[in-house]
Structures are given as structure tokens and as C-alpha cells.
Structure 1
Amino acid sequence: MAESTAVVEGLCFRYGSGPPVLDGIEFAASPGEVVGLLGRNGSGKTTLLRLLAGLIQATAGQLATSHLPTVVFDRTPFQESLSGRENLLLGLALRGRGELAEDVPRWLAAIDLSDDADRPVAEYSLGMRRRLAMVEALSCGPQLTLLDEPTLGLDPQGRHVLGELLRASASDGGTILIATNDAVFAERECSRIVILGSGQILADGPSSDLIAALNAPTIIEVELDHDPPSTTPPAGLTVISTTLESLVVTGASASSQLPELCAWLSEAGGSVRAIKIREPGLDDVFHRLTGTRLRSEDGEMR
């Protein structure tokens, strides 16, 4: 295995006298990995990035990085009076990578900024600024890159471009750590998922392995016009979550048991408003571990 790019051992952090945000976590990230740090707001994922970037000091434990990290948080500073093209060229010059200047037009085209390349960054929208920040961070070859909520402000095209940049950087030997609560993007683009909650690492592995461990081949989401039944569901079905007027059910043959499911629900009175059948995803893993759900790709909480 390649030497780790980032190593965390027994890492603890708390703000003042408050409860620990991170409480003895341990993990290592290697070249070629895109690691998604998945968790709700306040789970410690951004704090972990700030610790790795050297912006704050740990309360206890150790961490080490083999490269000076490139960091993209929610607001990336640019030279506002310079154009997007000029900002990229300046960044390359400051990093001693001027030989990559000939690639700048290709990068700008990849993030759909060719037509706006010579406009001052001060005139860019949030999404345009985010795309520019990502390409600046991920375009300088093998390194350690820390991205905080990179999908915020990005439209579907921006998400697609970000995914391509992540894969290209990882294939060149880069290591990328992404703090996010976007389960859909993380499942699609991250080679490894670290789920954080209550200051701990709750799960760590490829999303496919984490989802397979659910042993839930089919997920059925049901919207009701009444509270979910309190009685036991039909044999072969398991209720994995409930809210007011909705529930989520799984089972090895859940799809073929829809008539039984509907009959059971009707016994509670009222009627079924909608039924959605889907495959399980990373958000279901998160819910199984924490009892809460993350936001979907469109930004809504589920």
C-alpha cells in the first residue's frame, strides 16, 4: 500500500469547555483516494479539515500530512479585480507550476467558464466561483486537497465537472478529503466513505460495502394520510424508519409483498398517498447508524 498522505491518531477537539467535537478518532488516507467525510452539520467533519489544514490545534492526539494541503472552504479568496484566467495563472505562478499555464484554457473549458474567463471574478456568481476554486485546487498534480461542502452552489453541470476533476486528481495520485452531507454525490464520486457522528467514526469503507451491509435489497417509501401503524408488519418486511404520516420499509421480497403491505397499512385507517420503490443508498446507511437523514442531491433534507 502507498504511504499515507494524511494520518490521524487519537484525535480530539473541543471548543472551550463544550462537549468534544471529535473524540479520539483514527484514520489514514492514501494517494489515489477520494474520501468523503459524511455527517450532519456539527458532526466534526469541517473541524477535521481545519485541523488537517493547520488552522486550529487539536485538544489531544496526533495528525500528520505528507503534503502542505490545498484547502477550499465555503469562501475561497480570489483577486477580485483579476479575471478567472488571471487568477488561475497567478495561482500556478505562486506554486511554482508555471509550466502548466498552457493547460488553463482546457481547465476553463472543462468548468464551462471559457466565455467568462476574462471577466473580473468580482462579477462571478457563487457557482462560478466554486467551480473556479475547485479547478484551482485540483489542477496542480498529486497533493492533499481538502474540500468543504464542494457541491454547495453547484448546478448539475457543476457537479458533473467536479466529479471529473476529483477522478482526474485521484488517478494522478492525489488524495482528496471532502466534508459533505450530500449522500448522493458522495456515493457516486467518493472511493471511500467515513461517516462521522457524536465525535466518532461510525463507519469507514467503500459506499458499496456499507450499503451491502444493510442487507436491504429493496427500499419502499410510503406516504400516508395518517400515522404509521404501531402493529407488527407482515412477515418478511421490516420498518426501518417512521415519521408523521410516512414510513420506510425493506425486505428481501418487499416489491412482491406490496399487497400485504397495503392491507396492513389500511388496517390503521386512512389511505396511502404515494409509494416509491428504490434501491438502498448511502443515506439509508447513515440513517441506520444515526437515526437521522442527510439532505438529498437537490439540497432538501430527507
Structure 2
Amino acid sequence: MPITDTGPAIRVRNLTKSYGDVRVLDGLDLDVERGTIVALLGSNGAGKTTAVRILSTLLRADGGTAVVDGADVATQAARVRASISLTGQFAAVDEVLTGRENLTLVGRLRHLPDPARVADALLERFSLTDAARRAASTYSGGMRRRLDIAMSLVGEPAVVFLDEPTTGLDPQARLEVWDAVRSLAASGTTVLLTTQYLDEAEHLADRIAILHAGRIIAEGTLAELRALFPPTTVEYVEKQPTLEEIFLAIVGSAGPLAEEES
């Protein structure tokens, strides 16, 4: 069962990790408050995935401490695993199984008393009920990603790690995933999101942490980070639509969850 604790859902202090002579994490400090979305921004090689792997007990740090939902990741790994879920960069669904079967399987692996009921509730929550009995191989990219996130919520984990969840998705599918992530925080789940996409962090995160060379070099709300720069000047310019705006206007963006499910 998840650990009940009144402190931050995630607390990291002076975390270090090296691969040979390469220092990937060099004194990482980070707090993630409960029920919030924190985006960990950084370029390739900045250490985002390494940090998530340590926090999810898949990798051991060289030094420092990390506590997730009140349990130490190094000495209480089993308690941490009972409180978290991890969604990697690519959807980990079984494409031979239907959407409902994928969710039911995870429920059985977590020894839930009624995995079918849990599966049906998650299918409805993520607007996948109409496709529940179709093989996951027939799902679009956005649907597979939504199913993947739904699978990560089986057992109601207190903390969810999303490691670059929209990698390789088209603009519409990205919007679907964004809606799914927002629903996690709305239900009280704590989300640590890693991403390279600045607009993703801007739209989703309560707080943003910028990871560079293994350290957090800036952290705060979007407004706080903007305040680090000189005051803006007001100028009247003609704003051209972005390619993403043009694309969504052409194909229709009013219903990001209503796509080729029929």
C-alpha cells in the first residue's frame, strides 16, 4: 500500500551517478509536492532518465538520498515500488491483447480483488470504452499512450513517473496525452514528468525544474522563471500562426479524444 506521509511526495538531496568517467548526476536536489505536476526539463544527456530510474528503484545512485512517498529508494525499495508507477518513453502495451485485457492483466499482477472492474473504470476515464475489446495493435498512437498511462494507474499509485510520454506522437495525440496527465493531477496523483518539449512543460506543469549537467540550475513556476528575465516591452507585431496551429485548424482539434476509434 502507498506510504502515508505529510512531507513532499519526492525529496532528493545531493544525488550523484556516474557511468565510468561521465558524471551524469552531479548533486541533484529536488522536491515535488503532493498532488502536483513537476516537469523536469533538459536536453538529451542531461540526466533526466537516469534520475527517474533511480527514483523508481531501477538504478542505484552512487551517492545522496532520495525519498519517494515517505520511503527511501535505496533501503526501502519494495515500499517505494508499492507506491509508484513508471511510464517510459514508449508505450509498453501488449498489442496482441485488447485494451481491457491489458488493464485486467496488470490488475491481476497487482493482486487486486476485482481487476475487471478496475479495468472498466480506467477505460471509461481515458475515453477508451468503445475500443475496449479491440486489439491494442489497432489503436492509434495517442490511444496506445492513453492506454499505457491508464495501465500505470492500476492500483492507484501515489506517484507516477512519466519519462518523455509524448515522444514520437503527432500533435493531436500529444493533446490527448496532455489531457490524460491533467486528469492524474486532478485526482490527487503526484506526477514527475520529464520532457524535452518546452511547450509541454508550459502547458502541464505546476512547477518546472531545469536540469543541466547533472544539476538543477533553475526551478519554480512558469511565472517565477519568467521573472528571472528583464521586464518585457510591449510591441505591436503581426503574429503568424504556428505550423501546429495550422495543422490542428485544418484537421480539427475540437475533440482530441474522438479519433479513429470506430
Q: TM-score, normalised by structure 2?
A: 0.75
Match of 1:47 among 40, 47, 50: 50
| 1:32 has 2:47 as partner | no
* Corresponding residue for residue 248 of structure 2: none
Which string of whole-angstrom CA distances, capped at 9 and with x for unpartnered residues, describes residues 123-167 of structure 1? 444433222111222464351111111112334443333333323
Aligned ranges 1:51-90 → 2 under 5 Å: 51-66=54-69, 67-68=80-81, 69-90=84-105
How far is the alpha carbon of 1:17 from its aligned partner? 2.0
How far is the alpha carbon of 1:16 from its aligned partner? 1.5
SS at match of 2:168: coil
Is the Cα–Cα contact under 8 Å of residues 106 and 154 in structure 2 kept in the other structure? Answer: no
Q: Which letter does structure 2 place at the counterpart of 1:25?
A: L
Structure 1 segments unaligned to the other structure (5+ residues): 218-251, 259-274, 279-295
* Corresponding residue for residue 149 of structure 1: 164
Identity fraction in percent: 36
Q: Give the Cα separation in 1 of the matches to 2:113 and 2:228.
A: 47
Q: Give the Cα separation in 1 of the matches to 2:154 and 2:230.
A: 39
Q: Give the Cα separation in 2 of the matches to 1:88 and 1:297.
A: 32
Q: TM-score, normalised by structure 1?
A: 0.66
Aligned residue pairs total 228
How far is the alpha carbon of 1:205 from its aligned partner? 0.9
* Corresponding residue for residue 249 of structure 2: none
Q: Which letter does structure 1 place at the counterpart of 2:192?
A: L
Which string of whole-angstrom CA distances, capped at 9 and with x for unpartnered residues, describes residues 210-242 of structure 1? 12332342xxxxxxxxxxxxxxxxxxxxxxxxx
Q: Which letter does structure 1 place at the counterpart of 2:48?
A: K
SS at match of 2:208: strand
How far is the alpha carbon of 1:120 from its aligned partner? 2.1
Change (3 A) 1:297 1:59: farther
SS at match of 1:213: coil
Is the Cα–Cα contact under 8 Å of residues 141 and 169 in structure 1 kept in the other structure? Answer: no
Bigger Rg, which one: 1
Q: Give the Cα separation in 2 of the matches to 1:76 and 1:160.
A: 16
Q: Give the Cα separation in 1 of the matches to 2:207 and 2:106.
A: 29
* Corresponding residue for residue 229 of structure 2: 214
Q: Which letter does structure 2 place at the counterpart of 1:179?
A: T
How far is the alpha carbon of 1:179 from its aligned partner? 0.7
Is the Cα–Cα contact under 8 Å of residues 194 and 201 in structure 1 kept in the other structure? Answer: yes
CA RMSD of aligned residues (A): 2.9
Is the Cα–Cα contact under 8 Å of residues 145 and 177 in structure 2 kept in the other structure? Answer: no
Change (3 A) 1:156 1:113: farther
Q: Give the Cα separation in 2 of the matches to 1:38 and 1:65.
A: 20
Change (3 A) 1:171 1:127: closer
| 1:8 has 2:23 as partner | no
Q: Which letter does structure 1 place at the counterpart of 2:89?
A: D
* Corresponding residue for residue 211 of structure 2: 196
Is the Cα–Cα contact under 8 Å of residues 196 and 202 in structure 1 kept in the other structure? Answer: yes
Q: Which letter does structure 2 place at the counterpart of 1:43?
A: A
SS at match of 1:26: strand
Which string of whole-angstrom CA distances, capped at 9 and with x for unpartnered residues, describes residues 169-212 of structure 1? 22333211111011111111111101011111011111121123
Aligned ranges 1:116-265 → 2 under 5 Å: 116-138=131-153, 140-217=155-232, 252-253=233-234, 255=235
Is the Cα–Cα contact under 8 Å of residues 209 and 220 in structure 2 kept in the other structure? Answer: yes
